[in-house]
Amino acid sequence: MAMAASAPREVPAGVVPKVAFLFLTRWDLPMAPLWERFFDGHRGLYSVYVHTDPAFNGSEPPETSAFYHRRIPSKEVKWGQISMVEAERRLLAHALLDDHSNARFVLLSESHVPLFDFPTVHSYLINSTKVYLESYDQPGATGRGRYKRRMSPVVTASQWRKGSQWFELDRRLAADIVADDVYFPAFRRFCKRNCYADEHYLPTFLNILRPSAGANRSLTWVDWSRGGPHPARFTRMEVTVDFLRWLRGGSTCTYNGRTTDVCFLFARKFLPNSLTRFLRFAPKVMGFG
């Protein structure tokens, strides 16, 4: 982390900016064939980093793959614990050090899929004036109720925020996060039990350091309508042309001060058996493959 903290906070002048795709996974990447089609033909505009369980011993993809030799040294990650944030910081640190042309950083899981072609995603991120990270004040047990008073005065109750862990950041904020030796230690020490660091650390950090930088929304669509601690999962037969078109344009939001219906660039949680449908529909609906 110390070396990454000293990495340049801006992409060098005259260098073509890249988007770093950070995959935080349990084991393998079942949607990799779809991502391969997404990345195809765009080398030099993206970087890939994969953090998987250290016990994973899957075979290395071929040299032609976007995922060839892209796994980083990893540690065990447990849901709802500080190890989730540690893995995110590890991914950011590797991306910052590995390539100084990485300008934007997006966190993804093994159940993520892209909703648009690569040029659309790259342009959207590189030209954005905001970072895409939810950061909101939520009353009640699942928001303010998770704050630990022992975190004060480093983090106060009024600074406490919540949001989805699926972020998209610029290089400056990514560097600030890996350099953080003030707020992260407080979270690591006190954010336990009913305090879920992956939902609170980054939203709170953004609120304290750069509140005006955030768009206060995620670029990842998920379905929380069914209730419970986890979003809905989608199977093969639920992936239809109409559903994908709705994901791509069924919402309105603000992008660089203007209203748009391109609000979500990615979606989750899709089960592995849905891959065949995505591969079939990608050319028609998403414009690649």
pLDDT, tens only, 180-199:
999 999 999 999 989 999 99
Given a cut of 90, whether residue 3 has pLDDT beyond it is no
Q: In the chain, what are the domains?
A: 2-219 (3.90.550)
Whether residue 153 has a cis bond before it, omega within 30° of 0: yes
Given a cut of 80, whether residue 133 has pLDDT beyond it is yes
**What is the pLDDT averaged over residues 158-176?**
97
**What is the pLDDT averaged over residues 17-24?**
98
Given a cut of 80, whether residue 228 has pLDDT beyond it is no
Distance CA 274, CA 289 (A): 16
**What percentage of the chain reaches a pLDDT higher than 90?**
89
Query: How many helices (H) does the chain have, and how many strands (E)?
Result: 9, 9
Whether residue 269 has a cis bond before it, omega within 30° of 0: yes
pLDDT value for 6? 78
Given a cut of 90, whether residue 289 has pLDDT beyond it is no
pLDDT tens by residue, 92-124:
999 999 999 999 999 999 999 999 999 999 999
Given a cut of 70, whether residue 75 has pLDDT beyond it is yes
Q: E strands within the chain?
A: 18-24, 46-51, 102-108, 113-114, 168-170, 220-221, 253-255, 258-260, 266-267
Q: Where are the alpha helices (DSSP H) in 229-274?
A: 241-249
Given a cut of 70, whether residue 227 has pLDDT beyond it is no
**What is the pLDDT averaged over residues 54-76?**
94
**What percentage of the chain reaches a pLDDT higher than 70?**
98
This prediction's pTM: 0.96
pLDDT value for 79? 85
Give me 104's structure tokens: 């934007």
Question: What is the average pLDDT score of the chain?
Answer: 95
